Chain A
Amino acid sequence: MNAYVVGQVLPGAAVTVTSELVDRYADVSGDHNPIHLDENVAARAGLPGRIAHGMLTMGLLGTTASGWAGGAGNIVSLRCRFSRPVPLGEELSFSGRVVEVDGDRVTVEAEVVGRGGEPALGRAAVVFLG
């Protein structure tokens, strides 16, 4: 048995997507696509400016989810849609709600919202062993 119940709200942190964070993520992930790193290239690609890597947003969710799961090793799955580009300077808030508990498997619907409460990820869900 685990301590989670359906409907339980799980807290998370808020993180600001700074240019330093995006540069650093490009370095550690190896994703140097210039739409994340070069203002001019991003503008030519029709974007509002440099945008965060989708995987950076998902990675920050992974860190939050590892906290819920009591360790990264307990995470079974992680999925999301990248609903919109996340521009530099935006603050993202992470939270979750337990939607299913099946034995030791806990399914959480995650919410990642930015400026004006607008979701940055869609259909985000985490399954972990609680």
Chain B
Amino acid sequence: MARLGATFLWWFRVYGWMAGSMNSRSPRYGPVSFPVEAEHVARFAGCLGADGSAVPPTFAAVYAFQYTMDQAVADRELGIDALRMLHGEQEFTWADQPRIGETLSVGVDLVSDEMRGTLRVITLVADVAGADGRAVCASRTVLVVR
């Protein structure tokens, strides 16, 4: 009986550890897949006066920032009024650039949500990985709601 109890306790611990670590790895939004299509990259690059043969750095506006903002605005728990929201700050750091034709994986987490005077300041980070699991981009977005 004591042995059964010990076995149960062990399983409980392992299961609890697994559930805990799965929770800590699961982002608030996503992860979702984002295919990097040549035609989309070329149109984006053309708009910014860039050479479409390489992925422009701020194509991250599409694969990281846009998803971040759309999810935050759609999040009823956050309750953001899109018309009162402005993009306050943005930072991208790349370990590697995405490759045309690959499918990225994008997950987003809420870092902070605080009042600074009369402004509400919401900080989110997006973590972007390549098709082979390599780190591609970390994106930090600060949204300001007036």
Q: Which residues of A contact B (CB under 8 A)?
A: 13, 15, 21, 24-25, 27-31, 33-35, 41, 44-46, 53-56, 58-63, 65-66, 71-73, 75-82, 85
Q: Is the CB of A77 within 8 A of B84?
A: no
- How far is the CB of B39 from the nearest CB of chain A, in Å? 11
On whether A77 and B83 interact (CB within 8 A), knowing A62-B50, A62-B58, A71-B54, the answer reads no
On whether A62 and B57 interact (CB within 8 A), knowing A73-B97, A81-B88, the answer reads yes
On whether A76 and B93 interact (CB within 8 A), knowing A28-B43, A45-B84, A59-B58, the answer reads yes
Q: Is the CB of A79 within 8 A of B83?
A: no
Additional A-B contact list (4), CB under 8 Å, known A63-B50, A77-B92: A25-B47, A29-B61, A62-B57, A63-B56
The distance in angstroms between the C-alpha atoms of A4 and B25, with both chains bound, is: 41
Q: Which residues of B contact A (CB under 8 A)?
A: 40, 43-44, 46-51, 54-58, 61-62, 65-66, 69, 82-84, 86-94, 97, 146
The A interface, classified by DSSP as helix, strand, loop or mixed, is: helix
Chain B positions within 8 Å of A65 at CB level? 57
**Residue in chain A with minimal CB distance to B73:** A33
Chain B positions within 8 Å of A33 at CB level? 82
